[in-house]
Structure 1
Amino acid sequence: MTTSPQADTQPSAFNLQPPPLAAYVHIPWCVRKCPYCDFNSHVSDNGLPEAAYIDALIADLDQDLNLMAEYAGQQRELTSIFFGGGTPSLFSAASLARLLDAMASRLTFAGDIEITLEANPGTFEQAKFADYRRAGINRLSIGIQSFNARHLKALGRIHDDREALAAVDMARRAGFDNLNLDLMHGLPGQTETDALADIEQAIALGPEHQSWYQLTLEPNTLFYSQPPQLPEEDILWSIQEAGQARLAEAGLQQYEVSAYARADRQARHNLNYWQYGDFIGIGAGAHGKLTRPDGHIERYWKTRLPKDYLNPDNAFCAGRKPLGADDLPFDFLMNALRLQDGVPSHWYSQRTGQSLDSIASQLDNAVERGLLEPWQQQLRPTARGHLFLNDLLEGFL
């Protein structure tokens, strides 16, 4: 939804409180572009401009800090940092440490800050993992996707099943005690037995966090223009039900649409998104969100192409969108209602500046349709609401 940033469409700053602050860092290069990937990633044909990109990230950060001055952002501690991509593990630990040092000199890190690096098997060795840990990175998200060699080939992955297992072992040896494993299901030619075998192998590795999501055919991907043969709907449903039950049995509780975790090991950075926290975004194509004490909330995004982002004349920020009062219900709820337990109802007013009563009729309608639990204390979907989340959210457009 697009709204004009005129004064009469702005939130009222009703009971507004500054939400937590996080930072996202995008590193856009990959060894190969996967046919299902719609992220801002680019093949690194001619080597990585590592030093120049870190310089650009620091300059980008400084511009964001100037923007944050309007939002009283410096008074908040940084609760998490997430290096995403692309394949951030293509960069050296020394380069990432230089950026982290620059961030620490400009922002206050929380004492228990979570710093996550996305890594792909086959793009590192054990010594590199240990260097990442020494640099201050304390959480790894390893993009395995499947332990089945045939399915990995169909997905265009550059690693095999043996490298996936070795990556987890190397991470543990390097001292990482907070690991997420990324797995996909509903893969070309995948059976329920295949999918559950992936789940069993992941469980055997003992991750603290498990991302498990269904392959979807996204626009602007090779799979979208040349669709592979995917499992039938009844097989997908059986995989989903059986996989969720097995993960729960293994102590990995679902807390979001595709996220499962052991007790107190939920991804803090992703929780901040879903709980409508603020975040700065630096790097090619990164997005950010900031809240000002007067109720002004704004989303912004950065120059997408690496060659343009590295242009010394680049201003980094490619666009800014103030969120008007009509935007906020959907913008808030499309994040909060992804969570199994939702969020406390009073967070709506604290983090949007609007009274929850302003959307009471839509909430009541969702309750009547069996998609939302009674909402006075907690904004939480029913089991049916989780299954038909898009239908639930349409009521707030």
Structure 2
Amino acid sequence: MSALCLPPLSLYIHIPWCVRKCPYCDFNSHQRDEQLPEDDYVRALTQDLRLDSELAQGRRLTSIFFGGGTPSLFSADAIGRILEAAERIIGFEDDIEITLEANPGTFEQDKFSGFRAAGVNRLSIGIQSFADAQLKALGRIHDGAAAKRALATARRAGFDNINLDLMHGLPEQSRAAGLQDLTTAIDFGPEHISWYQLTIEPNTVFYNAPPELPGEDTLADIQDEGHDTLEAAGYRRYEVSAYARGPRARHNVNYWEFGDYLGIGAGAHGKLTLPANDEIIRQWKTRQPERYLAAWQGPGRFANPAIAGREPIEVPARGLEFLLNALRLTDGCESALFSERTGLALSALNPQWVQLQQRGLVLPKERRIGTTALGMRFLNDVLEAYTP
């Protein structure tokens, strides 16, 4: 065993409400028809963070990510108050990355300048597609024209670090339509594109009533030609579904390098390293927004009442947990991180790593924890070698 080291610390903030639940979405999101309980939720988030703050163990935040749901439904003032509380309670690194997920609807666009003034310096816009037919099939409430306006509005608001979320393999999508979406996105010049295939997840409308999706050959053509199109435009793939020709997503890279993150808000998850106890823990908060808000009613508290569960990542499982994250990175990660962030010796990866290296699927682990190009194509095979 090696000594655990404290990795960088991020903060995930969950805003659970949406205008309408999309039929493919399996996130903790809830349709809200009446006025959002914005002030109550900001107070709850602040208390949540205050009671979790000892887990920071003196670290400042390297990144913050507002996810959802639809965080852009909140006012710029509310987002600013949350950020002020986070800086006061935990503290920020000088170059902190602060990302907010936003929908392209006109209501959200009107607030982009306010979000920028509040301290958000990275905007992640959920475009999904520029084609009206595909957007309708996905249950989105914006159209292609609104998506294009959102990108222009974000630039005018002063954002110089923008991610576009874009999906392919959509219902009845042709190869040409899938590639057209990608070309349109590239033409707007975002710094980052998250480009991933639609998957049908349990507990969704699509799972119970599956749409007609493109065949395997079409999916493969879109994937291969789309990758080449992105690379030719200067976007380098650095993770399974992430391409950048500007800054990489620091918040997500911290996840993939098995860093630490606090999670506040309804259903938020966190992963924390406790070197003094030789522990790595996961904890999660009450999932239902109403119950999460109700947990904070009453006098001041010393224990966090919103914690729904906490469990350790047991020592035998740490190696696989690390690989499940780090091997998503096309370049892998520095070998030293494995021992620093799992407390395991590098030799704990043997004998499977040696066998995978002989098959040409992984790099020599003494040089880097990562796959070869072939290994990235067959990543599931690599990970299955470590699955009990």
Aligned partner (choices 258, 268, 275) of residue 286 of structure 1? 268
1:74 to partner: Cα distance:
3.6
1:262 to partner: Cα distance:
0.8
> What is the correspondence of 1:291-330 to structure 2 with a 5 Å cutoff?
291-294=273-276, 295-311=278-294, 312=296, 315-330=305-320
User: 1:98 is matched with which residue?
Assistant: 81
1:40-75 deviation digits (Å, cap 9, x = unpaired): 000012221111111111111112114x1xxxx242
Which one-letter code corresponds to 1:212 in the other structure?
W
User: 1:8 is matched with which residue?
Assistant: none
Matched, 1:24 2:12: yes
User: 1:87 is matched with which residue?
Assistant: 70
User: 1:268 is matched with which residue?
Assistant: 250
The CA distance in 2 between the partners of 1:147 and 1:394, in whole Å, is 37
Which one-letter code corresponds to 1:322 in the other structure?
P
Matched, 1:247 2:235: no
The CA distance in 1 between the partners of 2:3 and 2:50, in whole Å, is 30
1:371 to partner: Cα distance:
2.1
Which one-letter code corresponds to 1:165 in the other structure?
K
1:284-334 deviation digits (Å, cap 9, x = unpaired): 110001111233110111100101101135811110111111110111000
The CA distance in 2 between the partners of 1:155 and 1:194, in whole Å, is 15
Q: 3-state SS of the aligned residue for 1:319?
A: strand
The CA distance in 2 between the partners of 1:361 and 1:193, in whole Å, is 45
User: 1:224 is matched with which residue?
Assistant: 207
The CA distance in 2 between the partners of 1:220 and 1:371, in whole Å, is 34
The CA distance in 2 between the partners of 1:125 and 1:152, in whole Å, is 17
1:126 to partner: Cα distance:
4.7
1:16 to partner: Cα distance:
2.6
The CA distance in 1 between the partners of 2:183 and 2:384, in whole Å, is 36
1:127 to partner: Cα distance:
4.2
1:190-228 deviation digits (Å, cap 9, x = unpaired): 111001100110011000000000000000001111111
Matched, 1:395 2:385: yes
Q: Are the equivalent residues in 2 in contact too, given 1:34–1:156 (CA < 8 A)?
A: yes
The CA distance in 2 between the partners of 1:174 and 1:267, in whole Å, is 20
> What is the correspondence of 1:2-81 to structure 2 with a 5 Å cutoff?
12=1, 14-66=2-54, 68=55, 73-81=56-64
Q: Are the equivalent residues in 1 in contact too, given 2:49–2:89 (CA < 8 A)?
A: no
Q: Are the equivalent residues in 2 in contact too, given 1:289–1:298 (CA < 8 A)?
A: yes
Which one-letter code corresponds to 1:378 in the other structure?
R
User: 1:338 is matched with which residue?
Assistant: 328
Q: 3-state SS of the aligned residue for 1:327?
A: helix
Which one-letter code corresponds to 2:377 in the other structure?
L
Unaligned runs of at least 5 residues, structure 1: 1-11
Which one-letter code corresponds to 1:344 in the other structure?
E
Which one-letter code corresponds to 2:292 in the other structure?
Y
The CA distance in 2 between the partners of 1:359 and 1:209, in whole Å, is 33
- Count of aligned pairs between the two proteins: 379
Q: Are the equivalent residues in 2 in contact too, given 1:89–1:119 (CA < 8 A)?
A: yes
Matched, 1:184 2:172: no
Aligned partner (choices 340, 347, 351) of residue 357 of structure 1? 347
- What TM-score, normalized to structure 2? 0.95
The CA distance in 1 between the partners of 2:109 and 2:179, in whole Å, is 29
| Cα separation, partners in 2 of 1:103 and 1:32, compared to 1, 3 Å | same
| Cα separation, partners in 2 of 1:251 and 1:328, compared to 1, 3 Å | same
Q: 3-state SS of the aligned residue for 1:358?
A: helix
Which one-letter code corresponds to 1:279 in the other structure?
Y
Q: Which has the higher contact order (CA 8 A, sep 6+)?
A: 1
The CA distance in 2 between the partners of 1:33 and 1:385, in whole Å, is 36
The CA distance in 1 between the partners of 2:160 and 2:19, in whole Å, is 27
The CA distance in 1 between the partners of 2:5 and 2:383, in whole Å, is 24
The CA distance in 2 between the partners of 1:386 and 1:35, in whole Å, is 30
User: 1:199 is matched with which residue?
Assistant: 182
Q: 3-state SS of the aligned residue for 2:329?
A: coil
User: 1:235 is matched with which residue?
Assistant: 218
> What is the correspondence of 1:102-113 to structure 2 with a 5 Å cutoff?
102-113=85-96
User: 1:7 is matched with which residue?
Assistant: none
Q: Are the equivalent residues in 1 in contact too, given 2:125–2:165 (CA < 8 A)?
A: yes
> What is the correspondence of 1:125-136 to structure 2 with a 5 Å cutoff?
126-136=109-119
The CA distance in 2 between the partners of 1:166 and 1:194, in whole Å, is 20
Q: Are the equivalent residues in 2 in contact too, given 1:35–1:156 (CA < 8 A)?
A: yes
1:263-303 deviation digits (Å, cap 9, x = unpaired): 4x100000000011100000011000111123311011110
The CA distance in 2 between the partners of 1:42 and 1:292, in whole Å, is 33
Aligned partner (choices 343, 356, 364) of residue 374 of structure 1? 364
Which one-letter code corresponds to 1:384 in the other structure?
L
The CA distance in 2 between the partners of 1:283 and 1:59, in whole Å, is 10
The CA distance in 1 between the partners of 2:107 and 2:158, in whole Å, is 15
1:390 to partner: Cα distance:
1.8
| Cα separation, partners in 2 of 1:123 and 1:282, compared to 1, 3 Å | farther
**Identity across the alignment (%):** 58
User: 1:146 is matched with which residue?
Assistant: 129
Which one-letter code corresponds to 1:38 in the other structure?
D
1:123 to partner: Cα distance:
5.3
The CA distance in 2 between the partners of 1:362 and 1:315, in whole Å, is 42
Q: 3-state SS of the aligned residue for 2:176?
A: helix
User: 1:277 is matched with which residue?
Assistant: 259
Q: 3-state SS of the aligned residue for 2:315?
A: coil
Q: Give the alignment's Cα RMSD to 1 decimal.
A: 1.2
User: 2:300 is matched with which residue?
Assistant: none
Matched, 1:174 2:157: yes
Q: Are the equivalent residues in 2 in contact too, given 1:118–1:142 (CA < 8 A)?
A: yes
